[in-house]
Structures are given as C-alpha cells and as structure tokens.
Amino acid sequence: MKKLKYNILAFALLLSSVVIAQQTPASKQTNAISIEGATAHLGNGQVIENSLIMFNDGKITFVGSANMKIARQGNVMQAQGKHIYPGFIAPNSTLGLVEVDAVRASDDADEVGAMNPHIRSLIAYNTESKIVESMRPNGVLMGQITPRGGRISGASSVVQFDAWNWEDAAIKADDGIHMNWPSPFSRGRWWLGEPSMLKENKDYKKQVEELSTYFAESKAYQASNKSPKHLPFEALQGLINGSKKLYVHVDAERGITDAITFTKQNNIKYLVIVGGYEANKVSNLLKQNNVPVLLQRVHSKPKNDDDDYDLPFKLANELVRSGVLVGLENAGDMERMNARNLPFLAGTCAAYGLDKEQALSLITLNTAKILGVAAKVGSLEVGKDATLFISEGDALDMRTNKLEKAYIQGRDISLESHQTELYKRYSNKYKN
C-alpha cells in the first residue's frame, strides 16, 4: 500500500516537475493523528515501547502506552516495530544562508565588521534551499540559523524546515547573539615570512578588553536617553534582560573560563558555550554556573597529535557525566550539507559512553533547552509542537535511520528532495 503511494507520488512528481523545484510546504493539520505501536523515544531520556502518540491542530495531545484504553483520535497509523522521535534540531547552523560553498553569490553568512550584534540571520534564511529540504529525510527538522564572522557575528533565530517564508519558519526570532571569543593562539603571518605556526596570541588581553569596553559603552548607552539611537547597542539589550542568550564560540579552557567571568561582569543572563573542545577541562565551572555547551562536531579529528583518537567522540559523555547540559552542533567544513548527519553524531556519542536516550537528548530536548525553545519543541510531550517523525529503526544509526513519515507542527511534510527526485528519475532510466 505504502509502496503504491510512493510510486504514485513519484509519478506525479515526474509529471509535474521537469525543472526540479523545492518541496511545497505541507498544509495545516486538519485531522487529528494517532500513531500506535511504535517505540517512542521521547527526547527527555524516556522510552515508551508500544506507544501511543496523538496530536491535533499541530500540538501533541497524548503521549503514553498503546496499552492504555483511550480513544484514538483522528487517523490512526499502526507503527509496530517502528520508532518515533521528536524532530532533531541543528543548532549553530548556516543552513539557508549559503547554498553552494564555492559560489560567493550564494553566500550570505558573514557580514563585514567586527561588532555586529544588530545583524539578523533570520531575514536571509532561504526557506527554498535545496540543502534545507535534504535535512528532513534524516529527521533534522529544525535549526538555529546563525551568522558567522567578526567578533560579534549577529543574532541567530530558531526555525523549522517546512515553510513558505522566513516569517512562517521562525520558531523563535533572534534567540541569541553570537560572539567569537579571542583565540589563545595566533597564526604566523606567512606573508611577512613568519613560519605558519600557532603562537601565543599576544593580543588576547587587548581583544578581551575591547569586548569589555564595548559592553561597558553599551551599558552606559542603556542608561542614557538613547538619542541618537545606536543600533548595535540596542541589539545588545536583550542579553541583559534575558530575552536573548549570549552564544560564545570558544574552544580553549582559558577562553571558556574568561567568557564566564565576562558574562558575570556584564550582567548577561544566559551564556552558552559553542564549540567547547576543551570544555571537559572546566566541566565543574560550567556546571556551577549553569552554562550549557553546544559541543563541536563530534565527527572531527582531535586537534592535537597527542589527543586520544576518540576524544571528539567521547567529549559529550564526559560533559554529561559531569552534569553539564550538552547539545550537539556541526559547524565546520561543508557544514550545511553535513548537518543531515546530526543523528549520527549523537549515535557516535552513544558508542562512546552515553546511553542511547541520553545521546538522543543531545540533538533534541537538550538543544531545545539551550536555545530556549523547550516549551515548544525538543521532546514528545503533551502541549508541544507535533514536530516528530517515524523511522523504520534506530534513527541514530545510519543503517536504520529510514524515515517513513515526518510532521512539523502537525503538518505532514514531504520527505522528498531534489536528491530523491534525481534518484527516482535515474533509477527509472535504467529500469527501462
């Protein structure tokens, strides 16, 4: 039955789209849906075997056991042997800001200037990106779209991946401001004949002071009559009143420590460490100060020859064990197309110490909490958005991450993409 449906769909697509266009956003949920019998991975650490999940009008209305004698609402879907997950969230992402890495015209991720708190990623987010739609077949249904570059890059926004435009996409606009913490190392200036070595960054202190001065100026501005208006300082205000979080991108032990001091000194309410290669060395400090970490790409090389080969694989486990709230991010080389591998980053964390459900939290509820959207998304809990999917098997393992259905805010979204369409087109070519 299912197969037939797919074929019809494929046929329809072949007819309708010679020029391949992006998937049409799904229409609003009109009927309640009940999914029965699947193993539900709630995202909060819990698993319900033989579950019953119901949602209506875009919101989850029931999460429990299928053994419960309760009326199934709307369309009932039998999903025995299947797995159901809350949609995965890709934080610190440039999805929709860049389409093709090597094509400059398609790159909107990095604005000129060092101090850009007023820059907003949301308005550049391209809902029609072919890369964004390729996230969905792997269960990555939301992301935090984040600008790059400078000392203060600008403001990110949390979006869902099935929308007509950026306004529809927004789950939380301008959720936080991103800052690139000064590096403890500087590079040899090869153009001056210096060896291309990393050396101590002699300007580290100066660069930190520049930030302190900037924030002090901003504080003074907030107390003034604000005339004339100072756009960047206006944007910083949210950090003080807590409407925005401060995301500090930093790897080094010392930098993390200094960033924590910095946020305290400047009365910044919420600090999130992004990257955190050395966060395990200051895990107690992070815990004491309730500072969560969006941990760097798990599938990366250790930074030093001497590091354990599996250091990036096991960092999440070490942090979680120390009581730090951890989510996974994926910035780096080819980060956009690679973001669809987010579930497998979590899978690797499970291979290297974490319980599978804990690992799942790293890309669902933990991330939602860190981004401040846990009231709406991140887990299968009543009242939250029905942003979820059904997978044939364990979604953290590539062999079994096979989506059959996915919903964003209850909308039954397409799992097709530019890529699946090419797949079908050429598979058919050789069949004939």
Whole-number Å distance between alpha carbons of 279 and 318: 9
Build a one-symbol-per-residue string for 131-160: x at contacts with other proteins by CB under 8 A, - elsewhere. x-----------------------------
Shortest Å, Cβ 253 to other proteins = 6
Place of tokens 């009109």: 30
Structure-block tokens of residue 241: 């009143």
Structure-block tokens of residue 277: 């290669």
Nearer to other proteins, 57 or 203 (CB): 203
Structure-block tokens of residue 25: 């956003």
**Which residue stretch of 63-71, 72-80, 140-148, 420-428 sits at the interface with other proteins (rule: CB under 8 A)?**
420-428
Whole-number Å distance between alpha carbons of 167 and 148: 21
Shortest Å, Cβ 248 to other proteins = 17
Build a one-symbol-per-residue string for 241-260: x at contacts with other proteins by CB under 8 A, - elsewhere. -----------xxx------
Nearer to other proteins, 32 or 362 (CB): 362
Shortest Å, Cβ 418 to other proteins = 8
Shortest Å, Cβ 252 to other proteins = 7
Report the SS3 class of residue 256.
helix
Shortest Å, Cβ 414 to other proteins = 16
Whole-number Å distance between alpha carbons of 324 and 317: 10
186-215 positions binding other proteins, by CB under 8 A: 187, 195-200
CA 194 to chain centre: 38
Shortest Å, Cβ 278 to other proteins = 8
- Give bridge partners of residue 140 from the DSSP assignment: 88
Nearer to other proteins, 131 or 170 (CB): 131
Build a one-symbol-per-residue string for 282-301: x at contacts with other proteins by CB under 8 A, - elsewhere. -----------------xxx
97-116 positions binding other proteins, by CB under 8 A: 99-103
Question: CA neighbours within 13 Å on the CB side: how many for 339?
Answer: 29
Total residues interacting with other proteins, rule: CB under 8 A: 53
Shortest Å, Cβ 250 to other proteins = 12
317-346 positions binding other proteins, by CB under 8 A: 334, 336-337, 340-341, 344
Build a one-symbol-per-residue string for 377-416: x at contacts with other proteins by CB under 8 A, - elsewhere. -------------------xxxxxxx--------------
Candidates 421, 403, 346, 381; CA nearest to 42 is 381
Q: Position 75: which residue type? A: N
Nearer to other proteins, 56 or 401 (CB): 401
Which residues, 6+ apart, have CB-to-CB distance to 224 below 8 Å? none
Structure-block tokens of residue 165: 């435009």
Angle at 357 between CA 351 and CA 361, to 5 degrees: 100
User: Per CB under 8 A, does 432 bind other proteins?
Assistant: no
User: Per CB under 8 A, does 82 bind other proteins?
Assistant: no
Whole-number Å distance between alpha carbons of 251 and 418: 36
Candidates 87, 62, 1; CA nearest to 368 is 87
Q: Let me know how long the chain is.
A: 432
Nearer to other proteins, 207 or 300 (CB): 300
User: Strands across the sheet with 140-145, in order?
Assistant: 88-93, 140-145, 152-160, 170-180, 245-250, 271-275, 293-295, 326-328
Shortest Å, Cβ 114 to other proteins = 24
Q: Which residues bind other proteins (CB under 8 A)?
A: 99-103, 130-131, 184-185, 187, 195-200, 252-254, 299-302, 304-306, 308-310, 334, 336-337, 340-341, 344, 347-348, 350-351, 396-402, 419-420, 422-423, 426-427, 430
